[in-house]
């Protein structure tokens, strides 16, 4: 009788490993099957991404906001007229040279008033800030541009934005509007300035507060609106085209200039607000004596 010994499996662990892999794949497939319905339900019902504050942030930063700001070049047209190309040195007036000066000037003269109005949007404070800003702006052209845009913003608030906010808001602006309308209706024949002029900066700060924007958002949108108006004026003045305009707005240079201006003026009281680029007042003032012009300032 012959006894044969069974041949041992040379790789006994391979079968166990294959079974373990198959089991893991089965469990993975089962886990994926459980995950799929949840993923589908999330994609069908996305969470809301817009709050009231974010909504009004987009509205106030929209170029379509009818402030009339694009009718003004903020001194750019006068700057171009007084810096004719020099054929000997091959130099031309540059937007990149004008932009930092304009942002710095605008921030130092108006931003403290917007910040102060945000911190206290009462009627009494708005009237005080408006009167102080009116006395600070020594250039008639700049004053006219600020008042025109401020009154347009106040009209937008009364006719469009105030009714869209929940609850009763804006008592300070209501009181300011009453004083403004009364002063316009009465007129001043004694040569004294009116009690309210409606400059843009204080009104923008107050509306930013009432719309739920943070102080940082209000200040940034206020400065960005100035830059957007400047870039639009540069396009219409033929300095560059619309694609270069968007490149300028999206660039780090504009962001850096705005952030630097905000940091510099963040704690500046309105009593210390003033022109830090004196030549800007000259460009503003000389605008009305240009032989031809397409902007109001």
d(CA 209, CA 225): 17
pLDDT tens digit string along 201-237? 999 999 999 999 999 999 999 999 999 999 998 898 8
Read off the CATH number of the domain in which 146 is found. 1.10.4190
The domain in which residue 211 lies consists of 55-60+71-80+94-289
131 CB-side CA count, 13 A: 15
- Contact by Cβ (8 Å): 268, 123: no
The angle subtended at Cα 162 by Cα 161 and Cα 165, nearest 5°, is: 90
pLDDT tens digit string along 68-101? 777 777 777 778 787 765 555 455 678 889 899 9
Q: Helices 171-186 & 200-210, crossing angle to 10 degrees?
A: 150
136, part of any domain:
yes
Strand intervals (E) in the chain: none
First to last CA, the chain: 119
pTM (predicted TM-score): 0.78
Q: 3-class DSSP state for residue 6?
A: coil
Number of folded domains that form the chain: 1
Confidence (pLDDT) at 255: 95
> Predicted confidence band at 42 (pLDDT cuts at 50, 70, 90)?
very low
76, part of any domain:
yes
256, part of any domain:
yes
Distance of CA 107 to the CA centre of its chain: 13
29, part of any domain:
no
259, part of any domain:
yes
């Amino acid at each position: 009788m012959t006894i044969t010994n069974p041949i041992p499996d040379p790789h006994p662990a391979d079968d166990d490993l294959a079974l373990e892999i198959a089991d893991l794949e089965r469990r993975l497939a089962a886990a994926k099957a459980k995950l799929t319905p949840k993923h589908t339900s999330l994609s069908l019902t996305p969470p809301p991404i817009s709050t009231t504050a974010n909504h009004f942030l987009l509205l106030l930063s929209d170029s379509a906001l009818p402030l009339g700001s694009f009718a003004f070049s903020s001194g750019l047209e006068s700057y171009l007229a007084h810096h004719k190309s020099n054929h000997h040195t091959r130099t031309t007036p540059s937007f990149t040279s004008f932009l930092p000066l304009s942002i710095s000037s605008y921030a130092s003269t108006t931003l403290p008033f917007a910040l102060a109005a945000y911190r206290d949007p009462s009627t009494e404070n708005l009237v005080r800030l408006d009167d102080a800003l009116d006395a600070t702006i020594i250039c008639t052209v700049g004053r006219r541009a600020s008042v025109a845009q401020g009154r347009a913003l106040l009209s937008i608030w009364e006719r469009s934005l105030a009714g869209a906010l929940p609850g009763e808001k804006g008592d300070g602006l209501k009181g300011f509007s009453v004083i403004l309308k009364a002063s316009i209706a009465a007129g001043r024949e004694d040569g004294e300035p009116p009690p309210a002029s409606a400059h843009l900066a204080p009104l923008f700060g107050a509306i930013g507060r009432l719309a739920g924007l943070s102080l940082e958002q209000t200040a940034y949108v206020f400065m960005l609106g100035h830059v957007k108006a400047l870039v639009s004026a540069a396009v219409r003045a033929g300095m560059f085209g619309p694609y270069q305009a968007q490149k300028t707005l999206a660039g780090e240079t504009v962001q850096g200039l705005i952030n630097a201006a905000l940091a510099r003026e963040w704690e500046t009281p309105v009593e210390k607000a003033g022109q830090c680029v004196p030549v800007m007042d000259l460009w503003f003032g000389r605008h009305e004596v240009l032989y031809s012009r397409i902007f109001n300032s």
